[in-house]
Structure formats: C-alpha cells, structure tokens
Structure 1
Amino acid sequence: MTTLKVLGSAAGGGFPQWNCNCTNCDGVRRGAVSAMPRTQSSIALTENGLDWLLVNASPDILAQIRATPALQPARQRRDTGIASVLLMDAQIDHVTGLLMLRENSRRLPLYATAPVLADLSEALPLSRVLSHYCGLEPHPLPLDGKPLRIAPLQRATVTPVPLDSKAPPYSPNRQAPRRGDNIGLRVVDTATGRRVFYAPGLGHVTAELMEELRGADIVLVDGTFWTDDEMLRQGLSNKTAAEMGHLALSGAGGMVEVLDALPASRKILIHINNTNPILDERSPQRRHLSARGIEVAWDGMEIAL
C-alpha cells in the first residue's frame, strides 16, 4: 500500500510566519487562536515506510525530517530515507530545501519539468551551487500524460499534469507562462487502484482539469487564500490571489465550489497561507468547510491509497 505523508501544510513563510503579526499569527503565538503551527508545504510518498519520494523540498525540510523519524531510518552511519525528489514548480518555498540536503552521500535524483529545471539552472542556480556539494541528477518530467514509475516507488505510478498558474516571481517567464511551469500530480496505487490528485498551487480550473479531479478518490489541492483580495484587505500585499497564481476558496467559481462538485471520498486543502481564516479551527470559515466534508491538511497527516 502506498502512503502519502503531509510533511508541511502551510504556504510560503509557514504558520506563524516569522515576521507577521496578522490576527492568525499573533493569535497562535499568544494562544488566543485555536490553530496548529504548520511548516511550508511538502509531501512524501512511500510503499515500505523506509524509502521515500519527496515531493517539493521545503525550506523547512530539516524540521520536517526531525518530526518524521522514518525519513532518517539510520540503516548506516550516514543515511536518509529520501531516495529522490520531485518538484511541482520552482517556487522558493518548494525548492530551497534542496540546499539543506547538500550533505547527501550521492547525487540527488531530481525530477522536474524542463521549465523548472531551466529556472533552477539559470534564474535561481541551485543546480550550480549544489554541484559543489552532493550534486543533482536531473530527470526532466515529460508532459505527455503517460504514467511514470519513479524510484523508490514500485507499485505506484505518478503522472505530471500541467496546470494554469504562474512561474515564480524571480523567473524571466513570470509574465509569459510556459507549459510545465506548474504541475499537478496524479498518483495511482496500481495494487488498490486508488488515485490521489495533488496540486498545492492552482490558479484556474479548466474543463480538462475538472475531469482529472472527478477521477480522483482523494484530492489534495490549493487552499492558500479564502478570498481573492485577502492580502489587499489586510494591507500585506498589493496583489490578489489570482495575481499570485492561486484560486481563492470562497465565491463563485472558487475552490470550495469546485470541490462541492467532486465525487472524491476525501477533499483536502493544503498550502494554507498564514492569513487564511480557515487556520482558526473555531472560525465560521472552518465550519463552512467542515459542513461540506472538506478537510484542512496538517503537518503529519497520513493518507493511505
């Protein structure tokens, strides 16, 4: 059986964010808000509980490893359960954890689309930096819709699905998106037939993507913002959720409406921004989700396929 482990469930900056004193961050520090602290989003997949495919390398990866002993199985003097890494995009909160893995004893197998590998070679040259340490072994992910087998997984297949979103702010293609700047991931356990669709960054749901979502037993998708103008109203940014490449949860055509239309047995939100009221377990917004059977991911959550 394939197990999906949520290592981190927050958006960039984590929760509470280090420099933020919004209602949520200030409240959780003072114990005035009923909310769990969260690290920046990442998941890992395993079939044997020892060897893992890491999906996104969060800046919080060292804390996530400490919180997940199976990622450090101690089979030898120097060891790691992380057999390979797959990147969904080139966003800083999904890639800079690679630097924390620089003491790896061999080149780190890295699976990503050609646009993401290009950004990590040029605009944010992590591949060049890491060549002076463990080094990366790049594997371009094809976008032809065919299932892939990526070690250490043997029964489970993964299929990259191009998404309508944005390249990172540092990318020269921020305003000229390329196919593959951002992907979702279909994971199928071939023994059980169960299927999960994972997309922590999602700006728009096309008709094709809706069909993908309808075919999933479990959806684990972008829950970054409650409203499109969330950051504007709190005076924390001059950009809307859509301008940052995220589909807001509420409102007509929002993520909640999308999830309501799906037959999936589990509907889970991940990549939650520190400003989002759903982090407060007693908030009306959280009750709104619960009434619809929509879950909010938390660090350490496990999902069996």
Structure 2
Amino acid sequence: MKIKVLGSSAGGGFPQWNCNCRNCDGVRRGTLKATPRTQSSIAVSDNGTDWLLVNASPDILAQIAATPELQPARRARDSGIAAVLTMDAQIDHVTGLLMLRERDTPLPLHVTDSVWQDLSTGFPVTSILSHYCGIERHRIALDGNALTVPALPRVRIDALPLASKAPPYSPHREAPERGDNIGLVFTDAASGKRAFYAPGLGAIEPHVYEAMSDADLILVDGTLWTDDEMIRLGLSKKTGADMGHLAQTGAGGMIEVLDSIDRPNVRKVLIHINNTNPILVEDGPERRLLAEHGIEVASDGMAFEL
C-alpha cells in the first residue's frame, strides 16, 4: 500500500494568501526556515497506478502537477485518480471536485449521508457537476463494514465517525450528525500494516484511540499548537476546539495522546497544519520538542509504503 501526501496544510494553505502572521510573512520574505504547503489531501494506492484521492482540496490542480502518478499516461484523456473520498464537506476538502469536471465518465465519489446532503444543498457540488462529468455516488454507511473501493481491491478501508461540526453552510450546522466528519483506517491485505488518517479531530473518543493505537502510521490533526493560538494572534475569535481541532499542547493535547501510543516502530505524523502553527518553523523550539517525542511534521510530497 502506498500513501502520498498531496497537501499538508490546513485551509488557506501556507502561506495563506491574505495572512501577514510571522510564519506567512517570514516564508514569503525568505527570513524563516519553512516550506510552503498546499491544502490537506492524500492519495492511496495498492498498485501505484490507480489512486483513491482522499479529500479534493482547492489546490488539486497544483497537486496533480506535482505528482506524476496522478497525471494522464494511458490514453488521450486519463488520470491516475480512480475515485475520490471526502471525509467531510468542508470547503477546503471538496472545492477540488469542481476542478475534476472534465472527466469523460461520472466521478466515483465516496461520502457519508450527511456529507452528501451538504454537497447537494449548502454547497451544491453535485448539482454543478451534473452539468459536466456527473457523480457516481458510493455511500459510506458507517455500519461497521469495510468500504468497497474497486480501485483498491487489496486495501481494506474502514470509516470511523468523529465528533465534529458540519460546515457553516450545512443545513445541520448547529445539530451535528453522525458522519459529518470521519476518520479512516487503511489496512494492506498482504502486509497487514495499518494507516490511520484524521486531518480533523476534535476529541479522542475510545474507538478513535483504539484505531490510532493499532496503526503503524498515524496521520493526524496538527492544525494548532495551542487551543487559543488564533485568538492570541488576533486572527479569530474561535479556539481550536470551537473549530473541531485538538491542539498539540496542553493536558489531553495531541502530543500527550501520541506519547501514550507505544506500538513498536509506529510513525506519528501531524498533518493539516495551520499557517499560524509554530511547528512550521523547521529550526524552531516547537519542532525540536516534537522530534524529542518522536513526532514528525507532514510536508507536501511525503510518501509512505506499508
């Protein structure tokens, strides 16, 4: 099983187009040791040819251009993207669907019922694409059974409901539904190795912790260093918890959670990193602290094989 990180930033990318925080200003000026990043997405394959796109970010065209495996190679119009799965209906995870409209067959899309509702109403991507390639919907049932993704016959995919909020444009924004946000476990049939992926994670529920503890690769929410990060910088009135993200530091934070997982040789990688997060500074004290805890920071183009 192969996993490629297409984008490792939170919504807005890094640097964010309208942000003048220390990180964004420093990376633009070249005064900070940091690497630009596109918005969060990964691709998964069991043969290196057919890929499941997990989350379609607004940066999808740049990500395809940077990833030869996803580019046309077999016929006049073609793509290595065999299917798409979106873990929620957030704008930074579904806008890229519109950029795939030139397909000559309906786009296979794996989503939960609540995400399908959001994409049919508050952000009507399904209606828009019906005028172009169309969508072939595959339902993620959250009934405990593995997903069937024909393009990945040798990879078992299990979806886990996560505690979270639907997007602001969702009909059920203030009444969260099971399936608004999911985590994923990918298991390679040959090696038995597992990868856990959750770029948006607001709470460590027992079933989530169990999945993380059993994984050989943990790709998990790295949005904010502190819960009040955005507030202290004067960039938002919301905490990380308000936005559905568990901060790295503090009691019960992501560092503490990952420290408690002692599976041999497990790789612990933070992804979906906000432009304000000091872990983006490669020679900063926060990055050194993560290294002491055996925690890595994802970057675009990072690849794993399990």
| 1:217 CA drift (Å) | 1.2
Which residue in 1 is equivalent to 2:247?
Answer: 248
Alignment of 1:15-34 (within 5 A): 15-34=14-33
Alignment of 1:160-179 (within 5 A): 160-179=159-178
Which residue in 2 is equivalent to 1:66?
Answer: 65
Which residue in 2 is equivalent to 1:14?
Answer: 13
Report the residue type matching 1:129 in the other structure.
I
1:9-32 Cα offsets, whole Å, 9 max, x none, are: 000000000111100000000111
Query: In 2, are the aligned partners of 1:225 and 1:248 still within 8 Å (CA)?
Result: yes
Query: In 2, are the aligned partners of 1:7 and 1:300 still within 8 Å (CA)?
Result: yes
Which residue in 2 is equivalent to 1:284?
Answer: 285
1:84-125 Cα offsets, whole Å, 9 max, x none, are: 000100000000000000001100000000000000001110
Which residue in 1 is equivalent to 2:220?
Answer: 221
Query: In 1, are the aligned partners of 2:121 and 2:170 still within 8 Å (CA)?
Result: no
Aligned residue pair count:
304
Instruction: Describe the SS at the equivalent of 1:243.
Output: coil
1:169-207 Cα offsets, whole Å, 9 max, x none, are: 211222211000000001000100000110000000112
Instruction: Describe the SS at the equivalent of 2:210.
Output: helix
Which residue in 2 is equivalent to 1:195?
Answer: 194
Query: In 1, are the aligned partners of 2:114 and 2:177 still within 8 Å (CA)?
Result: yes
Report the residue type matching 1:45 in the other structure.
V
Alignment of 1:136-155 (within 5 A): 136-155=135-154
Structure 2 residue ranges without an equivalent (≥5):
none
Deviates more, 1:163-172 or 1:57-66: 163-172
| 1:225 CA drift (Å) | 0.3
Report the residue type matching 1:187 in the other structure.
F
The answer on 1:106 being equivalent to 2:119 is: no
Deviates more, 1:85-94 or 1:142-151: 142-151
Structure 1 length-normalised TM: 0.98
The answer on 1:267 being equivalent to 2:268 is: yes
Query: In 2, are the aligned partners of 1:50 and 1:73 still within 8 Å (CA)?
Result: no
CA distance in 1, matches of 2:58, 2:302: 19
Query: In 2, are the aligned partners of 1:203 and 1:245 still within 8 Å (CA)?
Result: yes
Which residue in 1 is equivalent to 2:184?
Answer: 185
Query: In 2, are the aligned partners of 1:89 and 1:182 still within 8 Å (CA)?
Result: yes
1:204-244 Cα offsets, whole Å, 9 max, x none, are: 01122211211111110000000000000000001000000
CA distance in 2, matches of 1:232, 1:77: 50
| 1:263 CA drift (Å) | 2.4
Report the residue type matching 1:269 in the other structure.
L
Query: In 2, are the aligned partners of 1:59 and 1:93 still within 8 Å (CA)?
Result: yes
Query: In 1, are the aligned partners of 2:199 and 2:219 still within 8 Å (CA)?
Result: yes
Instruction: Describe the SS at the equivalent of 1:120.
Output: helix
Report the residue type matching 1:274 in the other structure.
N
Instruction: Describe the SS at the equivalent of 2:109.
Output: strand
| 1:133 CA drift (Å) | 0.4
| 1:148 CA drift (Å) | 2.3
CA distance in 1, matches of 2:171, 2:142: 21
Instruction: Describe the SS at the equivalent of 2:242.
Output: helix
CA distance in 1, matches of 2:152, 2:262: 27
| 1:74 CA drift (Å) | 1.9
Superposition RMSD in Å: 0.8
Structure 2 length-normalised TM: 0.98
Query: In 1, are the aligned partners of 2:15 and 2:275 still within 8 Å (CA)?
Result: yes
| 1:44 CA drift (Å) | 0.3
Structure 1 residue ranges without an equivalent (≥5):
none
Query: In 2, are the aligned partners of 1:110 and 1:137 still within 8 Å (CA)?
Result: yes
CA distance in 1, matches of 2:41, 2:276: 19
1:116-168 Cα offsets, whole Å, 9 max, x none, are: 00000011100000000001111110101222231210110100000011111
Of all paired residues, the percent bearing the same amino acid is 65
Which residue in 2 is equivalent to 1:297?
Answer: 298
